[in-house]
Amino acid sequence: MDIALETIGLSYKFPDGNGIENITFQVKRGDVYVLYGGHHAGKSVLLQTIMGTLRSQSGTIKLFDNMDYEQERCRIGFVPEIPVVLGKLTPADMLHYFSLSFGAPENHVADLLHLNLKEKKAVCRLPLSTQRLVNLGISLLGNPDLILMDDPFSGLDKEESEHLLSVLSFLNESRHTTFLLAGQDYAILSRIASKYGVMANGRLLGELTDQKLREGCQRCVKLRTPQLEKAIPILRTSFPEFEVLSNDLIRIFDANEQSGTINALLINAGIEVSEIWRAGMEPTDYLLKMAGGVNCDSNDTK
């Protein structure tokens, strides 16, 4: 198995207790892996620790099956959420400045990103989307095999997001560039993600492929019973994954084809079932549940 990135027990804690703790995961070559979570989930800290901006306090990082981090670090590109700008340099000036370090021509990168190198305004005076594209262009000068991007679509309008998405898709599909993206905009991230790692409070709570996420959203059964307290111990023996939504309503996961079995199980135990139906969840709600977010009702089919 060709692995672009592997972390084992990676931790970094700030004095106030925030940070990341015991992060273990893998990103396969060619994947678009999305770190999904809200603010203060630890996504940015994890990216900075992988980049080496923050030195991990414990754990290990392996890049491209090599334990020698420094030897492989040059194969990583990084695009921060808040773009880096240099004084009054224009896009052409910034790309040229960094191309001298990488020894790579900047025109090819500009063409790929559709950047206007004749722009006379300083990068700092240009729209956020252009600033972010310039930063992506700088990362591409090093011809990276793995690119880390922190909340790349935040602050962008629909057209800007579509353009950036098309660039990332092209790099992934045509150049086989691996991506590790952090964010929480499921609507746009879902169009490119191959795998999700759900984070909250500095921990990686779970991982699932895009296919598993979509399957999970459909595998729910809801039932209503006035004897919920008695029903829960019975259900728990065969269906341990559930969520109590109110004093008479429960949602059971991974059971969308077993509503009849559930109904019979409760009736045979003398439990009254007022209603039972298959239900689905929006993917964002499913991810929120994984991350310990507020309970979100589903789009039900009855």
In the structure, what pLDDT confidence band is assigned to residue 92 with cuts at 50, 70 and 90?
very high
- Among 107, 112, 105, smallest CA distance to 171 is for 112
Which whole-number Å values give the CA distances from 4 to 27, 47, 150, 178, 283, in the listed order? Answer: 6, 14, 18, 7, 27
Reduced to 3 states, what is the DSSP secondary structure of residue 47? helix
Residue type, 108: H
- Strand ranges (DSSP E) for the chain? 3-13, 19-28, 32-36, 58-63, 76-79, 146-150, 178-183, 195-200, 203-209, 220-224, 242-244, 249-253, 275-279
* Burial track 59-79 (b if 16+ CB lie within 10 A, e otherwise): bebbbbeeeeeeebeebbbbb
49 near 56, Cβ under 8 Å?
Answer: yes
pLDDT in tens, 258-267: 899 999 999 9
pLDDT in tens, 172-223: 999 999 999 999 999 999 999 999 999 999 999 999 998 888 777 767 899 9
Instruction: Provide the pLDDT for residue 228.
Output: 96
Percent of the chain surpassing pLDDT 70: 96
Average pLDDT value for the chain? 91
Average pLDDT over residues 138-158: 96
pLDDT in tens, 8-59: 999 999 999 999 999 999 999 999 999 999 888 999 999 999 999 999 999 9
160 near 129, Cβ under 8 Å?
Answer: yes
Tell me the residue length of the chain: 302
251 near 245, Cβ under 8 Å?
Answer: yes
Q: Half-sphere exposure of 132 toward its Cβ, with a 13 Å CA cutoff?
A: 22
220 near 298, Cβ under 8 Å?
Answer: yes
